[in-house]
Amino acid sequence: MAIREIIKLPDKRLRLVSEPVKKIDAGIRALIDDMFETMYAAPGIGLAGIQVGVDKRVVVMDLSKKDDTQKRQVFINPEVTWASDEKSTHEEGCLSIPEYYEEVERPAEVKIKYLDLDGKSREIAAEGLFATCIQHEIDHINGVLFIDHISKLKRDRVIKKFTKAAKTAAKKVEA
Ligand code: NI
């Protein structure tokens, strides 16, 4: 297991549409182990493959509270099969857009179809934090970020801030 680097805004790879996983082989299992280690170290509650630079449709999640035992969830090739008309608003953040939080409105409940680690097709209903998080992560594998759901004014402002920070960091490396 290893902690991988989390790519950050404005890295263009965050806009890639990830490829479906065709076979759950040793490489995919190693990727998932690394994604959990990376997510716990960050710390975060969800992570998509592309956030460690791998454009595969893989999502890991652990919504357990800090002091609880780990509750690892893996979603391979997840897709939303149903979304409620009812919406709910939660404050969201993202490990690829650190220290930025904004309220996002999404369907309050969704149903998700995915493959588990054994390649078995499963379906699950999600509400509350789980619904928010799984929609956020499925967005990632489609090249969508939570800032795409906020006003253009706020989005432009955060992109500008991160672009400027990336340029400053690049200059420091050159010096
Ligand atoms: Ni995110």
The tens digit of pLDDT for each residue in 146-164 reads 999 999 999 999 999 999 9
| Residue 104's CATH number | 3.90.45.10
Is the residue at 145 inside a domain?
Answer: yes
Cite the active site residues: 137
Q: What is the mean pLDDT of the chain?
A: 96
Asked if the structure places residue 117 within a domain, the reply is yes
Find the 93 Cα to ligand 1 centroid distance in Å: 7
User: Are 16 and 50 contacting, i.e. CB atoms less than 8 angstroms apart?
Assistant: yes
Output the pLDDT for position 78.
Answer: 98
Residue-level pLDDT at 59: 98
- For residue 137, the CA-to-ligand 1 centroid distance in Å is 6
Instruction: Using alpha carbons, select from 125, 71, 67, 59 the residue that is nearest to residue 95.
Output: 59
Residue 1 lies in a domain: no
Q: Is 162 within 8 Å of 8 (Cβ atoms)? A: yes
Task: Report the distance separating Cα 128 and Cα 166, nearest Å.
Answer: 34
Residue 5 lies in a domain: no
139 domain-assigned: yes
Centre of ligand 1 from the C-alpha of residue 141, in Å: 10
Q: How far is the CA of 175 from the centre of ligand 1 (A)?
A: 31
Summarised one tens digit per residue, pLDDT across range 65-85 is 766 788 999 999 999 999 999
Q: Is residue 159 part of a domain?
A: yes
Does residue 2 lie in a domain region?
Answer: no
Give percent of the chain with pLDDT exceeding 70: 98
**Helix segments in the chain, DSSP class H:** 26-41, 128-141, 152-174
Give the residue-averaged pLDDT of 44-57.
98
Q: Is residue 4 part of a domain?
A: no
Residue 85 belongs to what domain range? Answer: 12-174
What is the number of domains present in the chain?
A: 1
